[in-house]
Chains A and B, each alone.
Chain A
């Protein structure tokens, strides 16, 4: 039993955190809102140079050949800076799906993803819209029980504007020419895998977002004075943030376990993912609520950075399976006859 990350994994997290905090500043995110695509090709190139776009791409295709478990800490850091680029989507959803599909499609696209020359996105029915379809060179789309692969010229996109200006969402109409990659149980399995990995990505980012909102709130309430002292010295304010810290602290291990379960193909992976997504997104939503409260009216403004993180947290809670979806999966497991529950059953 070793529930710790390796020194290498922790070191990688640290270096990615340093890079992201320096490069993906709130100013840079706000600047991206003013561009047509909302995406920053220079930043994507930087991420590719660090090996991050290809982190889960097998080494034979020019990637780093890492797993969900290696990436989960990095996904937390992506959340911490509210990275608008679809790195989590690429590493956790698109690449693993291409690996599972294998064959020519994988051989054709995985090297390009690793090199930062192509972006691939996945659309599942559960999500209603497709993230970052406008910058995708290849789209893998669930449609009518099948999984289709369409290149950018084989789709028509309808922009669906989100309250989070960093999120770029599209309805997608598939045009003639798209190929069927899988159908029946094969398609269902690919889509289920994507859903689980997408949900894990949400959970991990939610952890980072919650931490960022705590940090912003601690900073703000340490500076903002009323009644002659920093408002952060008042217990009512402290307790709002302590409550967030409690929920966040206990959402980390479930998220790490979910990453481990996916990486090692455990039977309980789907359940572990649902557990992680529920508790991590709850922690992030509480962080948003309480951080907003302690920011007072400032939190309600466009100008203060809090909303960059708050809106992302709100969105993630309802994508890749909303709370109802994940609760249903948990209920199916724990209320099933003969379910192994209780002390000693957690790692069985």
Chain B
């Protein structure tokens, strides 16, 4: 064990830091849940890609830097410290991209990955359906192969980024007689295809961060199938796999929130201490963010040395989502009567982005597999409790 960064790791951090210092926009971008903000974020992706900082874990041949997980963690630390923009193409870069590299044909990789990398094509998810939420195997949207095209019918929902995205990926039932996990196929769909209707769904903040997608005889070329017909479930599981889960939320994000929470507490100490629970909650948030960082580093080091990641990593989703909720709940307590005010309200001095974060933290225990589903996975696969 040696908990010091190596010279190359320190140099890498310096390189990231100086590039970000020179390139992160001075003014925060508008939220990507608006048309203008989406455009700004798309441009930011192009800027990142030009500096080869867009997908540091991707291979160099694909515009990445072939970074290992420790370098990825270092990159993320500097990224969040620099308050760089959120990643509008996260679904593409971190979820679909690695899956494409594993299951895609050479043609697909050459056609799709470069445009994903430079933000030209932003990806939305098409997992959930009205009757297939936690029970994803209940998918009913169909894709029927006719010649060299799939004819897609059905409906997807909670499709993140779909309002302004260019493509979506998801699973469709290609075998009408199949049930559950069998007979599903992973297909990539251009969102400007005739027959597609995207209906934005306003979120808690009133902005359309996700949408319903209706498919009415949508024709999709067969070369947009990822993996074999009927193999959709295993392709999707790779996308939602343990290692991908590890990379979904890096510790830096929560450590920076914890740091700002400590600052907020100190700035408002006199009023905050009138509730004795607040100090403890701030401390707990800070320690949990540290625990998350330490544990992620330990896992990353084990994986770097050829270790395997297993069901124990299902604990991570619960840990960070509850941490995020707790941190923002504590911030709301500290802000008191100001907590409900939107940042532009005259009396909203010093509220920062806490309210937005608080709203978003409500979704953490739900998206990417509800925490109840995660608890079942932990109990059954990690602890070996009976089904």
Bound-state Cα–Cα, A260 to B384, Å: 32
Q: Which residues of A contact B265 (CB under 8 A)?
A: 335
- Give the complex CA separation of A3 and B1 in angstroms: 5
**B338 CB-CB contact with A under 8 Å:** no
Nearest chain A residue, comparing its CB with the CB of B252: A343
Whether A232 sits at the interface, judged by CB under 8 Å, is yes
A103 to chain B, nearest CB (A): 31
* A246 B378 Cβ-Cβ under 8 A: yes
Q: Which residues of the other chain, B, contact A246 by a CB distance below 8 angstroms?
A: 315, 318-319, 378
Shortest Cβ gap from B79 to chain A (Å): 8
A208 to B3, CA, bound (A): 23
Q: Inside 8 A of A237's CB, which chain B residues have their CB?
A: 385
Expressed in whole angstroms, the Cα–Cα distance for A98 and B287 within the complex equals 32
B308 at the interface (CB under 8 A from A): no
CB distance from B259 to the nearest CB of A (A): 3
Q: Is the CB of B380 within 8 A of A238?
A: yes
Closest to B300 in A: A3
**Interface membership of B382, Cβ < 8 A:** yes
Residue A24 lies at the interface, judged by CB distance under 8 Å to chain B: no
Contact, CB under 8 Å: B1 / A5: yes
Per-residue CB contact flags for chain A residues 3-44 toward chain B (1 = under 8 Å, else 0) read 111100000000000000000000000000000000000000
Please, what's the 1-or-0 string for B276-303, where 1 marks a CB less than 8 Å from any CB in chain A? 0001100100111011111101101110
Interfacial chain B residues near A232, Cβ < 8 Å:
379, 385-386
Q: Is the CB of B1 within 8 A of A260?
A: yes
Which of the segments A177-185, A299-307, A326-334 contacts the partner chain? Answer: A326-334
Which residues of chain A (208-231) have a CB below 8 Å from chain B? 214, 218, 221-222, 229-230
Give a binary string over B371-386; 1 marks a CB under 8 Å from any A CB, 0 the rest: 0101110111011111
In A294-348, the 8 Å CB interface with B consists of 327, 330-331, 334-335, 339, 341-347
Which of A105-113, A120-128, A156-164, A251-259 interfaces with chain B? A251-259
Q: Residue A238 contacts which of B290, B292, B294, B375 (CB distance < 8 angstroms)?
A: B375
In Å, the complex CA distance between A214 and B378 comes to: 12
Known contacts: A1-B2, A3-B298. The answer to whether A250 contacts B292 by CB under 8 A is yes
Q: When the two chains form their complex, are residues A245 and B315 in contact, meaning their CB atoms are under 8 A apart?
A: yes
A89 within 8 A of B: no
Distance in angstroms from B258 CB to nearest chain A CB is 7
B1 and A69 contacting across the interface, CB-CB below 8 Å: yes
* Cβ B315 vs Cβ A218 within 8 A: no
- Which B residue's beta carbon lies closest to that of A219? B384
B349 within 8 A of A: no
Q: Mark B1-36, 1 if CB is under 8 A from A, else 0.
A: 111111001000100000000000000000000000
Contact B286 A343 (CB under 8 A): no
A233 within 8 A of B: yes
Q: How many residues of B contact A (CB 8 A)?
A: 62
Do A279 and B291 have beta carbons less than 8 Å apart? yes
Q: Are B372's CB and A250's CB within 8 A? A: no
Complex contacts, B292 vs chain A, CB 8 Å: 250
- The answer to whether A1 and B293 have CB atoms under 8 Å apart is no
Q: How far is the CB of B21 from chain A (nearest CB, A)?
A: 14
CA distance in complex: A256, B290 (Å): 13
Partner of A235, one of B5, B70, B255, B372: B372
Contact across chains for A344 and B81 when beta carbons are under 8 A apart = yes
CA distance A287 to B287 in the complex (A): 19
By a CB distance below 8 angstroms, the chain B residues around A339 are: 262
B202-232 contact mask (Cβ, 8 Å, vs A): 1 or 0: 0000000000000000000000000000000
Hey, which chain A residues are within 8 Å of B283, CB to CB? 327, 330-331, 334
With A250-B295, A341-B259, A342-B255 known as contacts, the answer to whether A257 contacts B376 (CB < 8 A) is: no
Structural contact, B81 and A342, CB atoms closer than 8 A:
yes
Does A241 touch B at the CB level, under 8 Å?
yes
CA distance A346 to B258 in the complex (A): 12
Cα A256 to Cα B287 with chains together (Å): 15
A233:B6 contact, CB within 8 angstroms: no
- Given A2-B301, A334-B283, A335-B266, decide whether A242 and B3 contact each other with a Cβ distance below 8 A: no
**Interface flag for B344 (CB, 8 Å):** no
Q: Is the CB of A252 within 8 A of B382?
A: no
Residues of B within 8 A of A1 (CB): 2-6, 9, 70, 297, 301
Q: Give the CA-CA distance A5 to B301 in the complex, in Å.
A: 10
**A233 contacts B387, CB within 8 Å?**
yes
CB-contact partner of B383 in A69, A241, A275, A341, under 8 A: A241
Residues of A within 8 A of B298 (CB): 3-4, 252-253, 256
| Bound-complex Cα distance A10 to B63 (A) | 39
* A344 and B252 within 8 A (CB): yes
B7 CB, nearest partner CB in chain A, Å: 11
- In angstroms, Cα B258 to Cα A334, docked, is 11
B45 at the interface (CB under 8 A from A): no
Once the chains bind, are B287 and A278 in contact (CB under 8 Å)? Answer: yes
Q: Can you list 14 A-B pairs with a CB-CB distance of less than 8 A?
A: A1-B2, A2-B301, A4-B1, A69-B1, A222-B385, A233-B385, A237-B385, A241-B383, A275-B290, A327-B283, A330-B283, A339-B262, A343-B80, A343-B81
Extra A-B contacts (19), CB below 8 Å, given A235-B372, A342-B260: A1-B9, A1-B297, A2-B3, A2-B301, A218-B383, A233-B385, A238-B385, A239-B375, A242-B378, A250-B295, A251-B291, A257-B294, A260-B1, A275-B291, A327-B280, A335-B266, A343-B76, A343-B78, A347-B3
